Amino acid sequence: MTESPIRVGVLGARGRMGATVVKAVEGAADQELVAALDAGDDFAPLESAQVVVDFTHPDAVMDNLRWLIAHDLHAVVGTTGFSEERLTELRGLLADKPQLGVLIAPNFALGAVLAMRFAAQAAKFYASAEIIELHHNRKADAPSGTAAHTARMIAAARAEAGVAPGPDATTSEVDGARGASVEDVHVHSVRLPGLVAHEEILFGGEGETLTIRHDSLDRTSFMPGVLLGVRSVVSRPGLTVGLENVLDL
Ligand X SMILES: O=C(O)C1=N[C@H](C(=O)O)CCC1
Ligand Y SMILES: NC(=O)c1ccc[n+]([C@@H]2O[C@H](COP(=O)([O-])OP(=O)(O)OC[C@H]3O[C@@H](n4cnc5c(N)ncnc54)[C@H](O)[C@@H]3O)[C@@H](O)[C@H]2O)c1
Q: Which stretch binds ligand X (CB under 6 A): 84-92, 143-151, 175-183, 186-194?
A: 143-151
d(CA 154, CA 151): 5
| 88 annotated to bind ligand | no
Q: Is 139 a residue that touches ligand X (CB under 6 A)?
A: yes
Q: Which stretch binds ligand X (CB under 6 A): 45-53, 140-148, 150-158, 181-189?
A: 140-148
Q: Is 197 a residue that touches ligand X (CB under 6 A)?
A: yes
Q: Is 144 a residue that touches ligand X (CB under 6 A)?
A: yes
Greatest CA separation found in the chain?
69
H-run or E-run covering 52? strand 51-54
d(CA 200, CA 224): 22
Task: Please state, in angstroms and as integers, the Cα–Cα distance from residue 175 to each residue in 24, 168, 172, 178, following that order.
Answer: 42, 16, 9, 8
State in angstroms the smallest separation of the CB of 207 from ligand X. 32
Q: Where are the beta strands (DSSP E) in 91-150?
A: 101-104, 128-135
By the 8 A CB rule, do 165 and 184 touch? yes
Q: Is 60 a residue that touches ligand Y (CB under 6 A)?
A: yes
User: Residue 135 touches which of ligand Y, ligand X, none (CB < 5 to 8 A by kind)?
Assistant: ligand X
Q: Pick from 6, 8, 10, 11: which binds ligand Y (CB under 6 A)?
A: 11
Query: Is 97 annotated in the active site?
Result: no
By the 8 A CB rule, do 244 and 113 touch? yes
Q: Which stretch binds ligand X (CB under 6 A): 1-9, 41-49, 137-145, 164-172?
A: 137-145
Closer of 64 and 144 to ligand X (Cβ): 144
